[in-house]
Amino acid sequence: MKQLILLALLSVSLLSCKDTRPKDGKFHIITTTSMITDLVENIGGDKVEVQGLMGAGVDPHLYKASEGDVSKLSNANMILYSGLHLEGKLVEVFEKMKRQNINTVAISDALDKKDLIGSTLFESNYDPHIWFDVKNWELITVFVEKQLSEALPEHKEYFKANAVTYLEKLKVLKEEIEAEIATLPEDKRRLVTAHDAFNYFGKAYKFDVVGLQGLSTATEAGVQDVQKTAAYIIDHKVKAVFIESSVPRRTVEALKAAVNSKKHEVVIGGTLFSDALGNPGTPEGTYIGMFKFNVHTIVSALK
């Protein structure tokens, strides 16, 4: 009888328990884009549980939080998102999480405003595609290490060591991509893609960048955009244009058709990873692999 009463009490207390925050003793971090997920996994290692909301091929500009997402976010110990209105439809959700006293941090806070590229297309007034300059990613690595160390000071040394290892890898990455880009003459450095994700890349490596859809994929490319970009390709004898993994390919195909209809040749140079990494377990499923893949695809097609 005593046992029965205890059992009844226990089930009542379980049912009435509103705090659904995980009680497995782990530190749960929810991230948005796969670039952030990869970085936090590298720094946090086995001391944290990282769950990314957006997988391969997912467009962060258009992503809306499902009920399941909101519940995951509410139960997190920390939320790391990109910011600068990259996740344009999640801004209100993040505000709500902040009000619930969940540590909700934009990784773009790692960067000095003077190093950002301005844009009137976003409410933030800045271009949010900050990960396409490795120098920014280095600053963000240090920033994430600091966030994790503040939250879990007992693992400070561990996070520090992981960040040092990762920064070494980023240094090697920078050297590799610089060497590959150096083989492409500057007058051939013209990058035409589905949407303007590559302005930081262009600034870092002296590419002229043209995006069909403007900065955000929330607006469709119009006939005028296609004609203007087609004229640019013909004027500058651009050999190839690129699809993006997180943007429908039809706009770039329309562009190719517009150029070809004027008796000029342009090919689709490949698919670039812009606002999402590749599938987990593939080389492009990491930030470093994605960057190498993009640079190799761009340089090979434009040479």
How many residues form the binding site for Zn ion (CB under 5 A)? 2
User: By C-beta, is 145 or 244 nearer to Zn ion?
Assistant: 244
Identify the helix (H) or strand (E) that includes residue 200: helix 199-205
Q: Sheet harboring 208-211: ordered strands across?
A: 208-211, 190-193, 240-244, 267-272
Q: Name the minimum Å distance from CB 274 to Zn ion.
A: 6
Q: Name the minimum Å distance from CB 60 to Zn ion.
A: 7
Task: Please select the residue that binds Zn ion; options are 104, 275, 284, 290, rule is CB under 5 A.
Answer: 275
Q: Name the minimum Å distance from CB 194 to Zn ion.
A: 9
Question: Which of 255, 125, 106, 277 has its CA nearest to residue 195?
Answer: 255
175 to 214: interface string for Zn ion, x by CB under 5 A = ----------------------x-----------------
User: By C-beta, is 272 or 288 nearer to Zn ion?
Assistant: 272
Q: Could you tell me if 129 and 60 are in contact, meaning their C-beta atoms sit under 8 angstroms apart? A: no
Q: Name the minimum Å distance from CB 212 to Zn ion.
A: 12
Q: Could you tell me if 32 and 93 are in contact, meaning their C-beta atoms sit under 8 angstroms apart? A: no
Q: Name the minimum Å distance from CB 272 to Zn ion.
A: 11
User: Residue length, the chain?
Assistant: 303
Distance between CA atoms of residues 275 and 30, nearest Å: 17
Residue at token pair 């693992």:
155
Q: Name the minimum Å distance from CB 171 to Zn ion.
A: 26
The secondary structure of residue 114, as a DSSP letter, is G
Task: List the structure tokens of 297.
Answer: 């695809």
Distance between CA atoms of residues 85 and 99, nearest Å: 19
Residue at token pair 């470093």:
288
140 in contact with Zn ion (CB under 5 A): no
User: By C-beta, is 197 or 266 nearer to Zn ion?
Assistant: 197
User: By C-beta, is 166 or 198 nearer to Zn ion?
Assistant: 198
User: By C-beta, is 80 or 130 nearer to Zn ion?
Assistant: 130
User: By C-beta, is 51 or 219 nearer to Zn ion?
Assistant: 219
Q: Name the minimum Å distance from CB 126 to Zn ion.
A: 13
Distance between CA atoms of residues 66 and 58, nearest Å: 14
Q: Could you tell me if 274 and 124 are in contact, meaning their C-beta atoms sit under 8 angstroms apart? A: no
User: By C-beta, is 197 or 241 nearer to Zn ion?
Assistant: 197
Residues near Zn ion (CB under 5 A) are 197, 275
